[in-house]
């Protein structure tokens, strides 16, 4: 009997029941690339946007669209999702329906563009025992779609090993499906596309479906986007292996790594963060310079946290320049100190390595103790024979999730967050090491200072792209 691969084991034991549903999928169909798009209470405009992206491509594309309705959704939201299902069916020619039910069907809109549609918009699907109805959130939708893509990849019906993940509010440039280099090995677990937020009513306009050079969008979207870039800039400056964006609509994930990490977690939000946290331990995470994906700046209550709720919250602020908060930059200085001493801990006790840092060392010791560092250090020293292995294992313990806990502990007890005005003024004074503004002017109106802030962080990201992060061993190999 042939030995089961990692993908075989995942599809058998951890995937949604997609193999059963795809059992009679036409074996003659072959696709170059697959992309997974959850769609809940969405406009139909993304259908035309995808057609426009694929129009000049010589590749055959399979869009796996999961029409999901969380159990607690409103009737209008369910009706909008059901209307999208009807629009998709009317947009092309039916090619196949699963023998298990009409919840899964294939539609051809052009010879090079097919849509594999999971329709979970009905209140009580006839096949309910196969689904976890209470988990019809975005994490479940991404997992169901990606598991389907993985099954077709495993049966050699999808050629490219990198499976794309996006959202219905995205606009994809024409070179989107050809931007990833042809793989020579599987050391890269995921690619991340650069992104900007644009005005809601232009996101899917064909006039704007080309690379954009500067950030746009509303003040609310710019502010939220700046906070994302500020955080990643601080991580990268500190030497963190986890310095990458975790935006689910900007990913291309290697099938083998996806399977090895047991797929997307079925969460209502944050599923992208938790999967990338694991993917970064099994391979490198590469952030590309181009092409740029445009995301909508719309407010939304579709998920508990993320872009939509953040925009909604900012909308409710009376004075965003005083109310919107950024992590204190000193936190990233402490994070850098911690990263710098990690190699020394192979031979030296933690308190000795921290002693030269004075008060900073005391804060670090308190925070790291709260995170359980001593147990991890003992484990790493016991099982690692070399300093390189020790560093890699300790960084795997101090992952993106513990990094965030580290930051939140310091924020809550020692270094409270600062508002936009204070953050800009510190940057203008050169007091933020990872953010040095060119010719800052603190007398400008807040909106102009925000635009300047946004532009600087955007250009800073672009200048350092492509950026390689993640698993220490894979990253060093690629950098060399």
Q: Which domains does the chain have, with CATH numbers?
A: 6-323 (3.90.550.10)
Place of tokens 């801990």: 345
Q: What does the pLDDT look like over 186-208, one tens digit per residue? A: 899 999 999 998 865 545 554 44
pLDDT averaged over the chain?
Answer: 90
Q: What is the mean pLDDT of residues 31-60?
A: 93
Q: What is the mean pLDDT of residues 364-387?
A: 96
d(C-alpha 162, C-alpha 255), whole Å: 6
Q: Which residue has the higher pLDDT, 29 or 214?
A: 29
Whether residue 109 has pLDDT greater than 60: yes
pLDDT at res. 310: 81
Q: What is the mean pLDDT of residues 207-230?
A: 72
Whether residue 255 has pLDDT greater than 50: yes
Banded model confidence at residue 209, pLDDT cuts 50, 70, 90: very low
Place of tokens 């099954």: 151
**Highest mean pLDDT of the ranges 24-28, 134-138, 177-181, 210-214:** 24-28
Q: What percentage of the chain reaches a pLDDT higher than 90?
A: 78
Q: What does the pLDDT look like over 402-443, one tens digit per residue? A: 999 999 999 999 999 999 999 999 999 999 999 988 889 999
pLDDT at res. 420: 97
Q: What is the mean pLDDT of residues 27-53?
A: 95
Banded model confidence at residue 284, pLDDT cuts 50, 70, 90: very high
pTM, entire model: 0.92
Whether residue 128 has pLDDT greater than 60: no
pLDDT at res. 129: 47
Banded model confidence at residue 297, pLDDT cuts 50, 70, 90: confident
Q: What is the mean pLDDT of residues 276-295?
A: 96
Residue 167 CA, chain-centre distance (Å), reads 11
pLDDT at res. 195: 95
Whether residue 152 has pLDDT greater than 80: yes
């Amino acid at each position: 009997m042939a030995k089961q691969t990692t993908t075989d084991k995942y599809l058998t034991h951890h995937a949604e029941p997609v193999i059963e549903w795809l059992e009679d999928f036409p074996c003659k169909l072959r696709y170059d690339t697959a992309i997974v798009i959850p769609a809940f209470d969405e406009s139909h405009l993304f259908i035309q946007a995808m057609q426009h992206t694929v129009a000049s491509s010589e590749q055959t594309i399979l869009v796996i669209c999961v029409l999901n309705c969380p159990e607690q959704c409103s009737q209008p939201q369910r009706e909008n999702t059901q209307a999208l299902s009807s629009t998709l069916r009317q947009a092309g020619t039916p090619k196949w329906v699963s023998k298990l039910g009409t919840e899964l069907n294939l539609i051809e809109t052009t010879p090079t563009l097919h849509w594999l549609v999971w329709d979970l918009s009905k209140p009580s699907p006839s096949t309910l025992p196969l689904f976890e109805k209470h988990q019809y959130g975005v994490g479940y939708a991404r997992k169901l779609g990606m598991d389907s893509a993985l099954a077709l990849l495993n049966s050699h019906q999808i050629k490219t090993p990198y499976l794309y993940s996006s959202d219905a509010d995205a606009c994809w440039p024409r070179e989107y499906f050809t931007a990833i280099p042809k793989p020579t090995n599987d050391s890269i677990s995921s690619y991340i596309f650069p992104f900007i937020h644009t005005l809601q009513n232009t996101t899917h306009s064909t006039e704007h479906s080309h690379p954009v050079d500067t950030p746009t969008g509303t003040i609310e979207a710019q502010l939220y986007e700046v906070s994302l870039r500020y955080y990643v800039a601080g991580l990268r400056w500190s030497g963190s292996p986890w310095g990458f964006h975790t935006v689910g609509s900007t990913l291309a994930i290697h099938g083998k790594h996806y399977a090895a990490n047991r797929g997307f977690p079925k969460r209502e939000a944050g599923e992208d963060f938790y999967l990338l946290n694991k993917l970064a331990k099994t391979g490198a995470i590469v952030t590309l310079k181009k092409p740029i994906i445009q995301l909508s700046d719309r407010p939304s209550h579709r998920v508990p946290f993320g872009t939509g709720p953040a925009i909604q919250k900012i909308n409710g602020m009376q004075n965003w320049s005083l109310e919107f908060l950024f992590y204190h930059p000193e936190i990233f200085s402490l994070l850098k100190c911690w990263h710098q001493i990690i190699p020394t801990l192979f031979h030296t006790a933690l308190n000795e390595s921290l002693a030269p840092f004075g008060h900073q060392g005391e804060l670090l010791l308190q925070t790291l103790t709260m995170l359980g560092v001593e147990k991890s250090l003992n484990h790493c020293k016991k099982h690692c024979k070399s300093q390189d292995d020790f560093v890699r294992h300790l960084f795997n313990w101090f992952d993106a999730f513990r990094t965030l806990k580290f930051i939140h502990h310091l924020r809550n007890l020692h270094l409270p967050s600062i508002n936009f005005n204070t953050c800009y003024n510190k940057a203008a004074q050169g007091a933020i090491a990872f953010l040095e503004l060119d010719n800052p002017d603190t007398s400008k109106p807040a909106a102009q200072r925000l635009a300047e802030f946004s532009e600087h962080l955007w250009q800073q990201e672009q200048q350092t792209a492509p950026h390689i992060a993640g698993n220490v061993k894979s990253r060093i190999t690629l950098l060399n």
